[in-house]
Amino acid sequence: MDLAVDIVKSGNRNQTEQFVRNKLHNSIVAACLSVRMPEGQAETTAHAVCDGVIVWLQQRPEVTSQDIRTVATRHLKSYHPEAAYLYEQQHMII
């Protein structure tokens, strides 16, 4: 389920795009697999985190990509703190 929410991309405040659940799901699965989580558990965790982010998004018409990352990290932390840490750090390593 995709929502009619505009996502403001970081670094380019004029550029927006629609929220796509699959994109968020894939990025969370990637973070989970990076910490060697089994594939099935990674999928289940990503579903749960996406659901949490969508509930948060339903009251907001426009958010930044950084907001989504922060909320997703908060939800992921309750399932797997290490995966949450790596998800948060992905764009801050180099």
Which span (32-40, 44-52, 54-62, 66-74) binds another protein, by CB under 8 A? 32-40
* CA distance linking residue 5 with residue 15, whole number of Å: 13
Q: Which residue intervals of the chain are DSSP H helices?
A: 21-34, 39-57, 65-79, 81-89
- H/E element, 16: strand 16-18
Q: Does 70 help bind another protein (rule: CB under 8 A)?
A: no
**Which region among 12-20, 48-56, 67-75, 77-85 touches another protein (by CB under 8 A)?**
77-85
Site for another protein contains 50 (CB under 8 A)? no
Residue 86 sits in the site that holds another protein (CB under 8 A): yes
User: Is 49 among the residues that bind another protein (CB under 8 A)?
Assistant: no
Question: Which C-beta is closer to another protein: that of 57 or that of 72?
Answer: 72
CA distance 91 to 94: 7
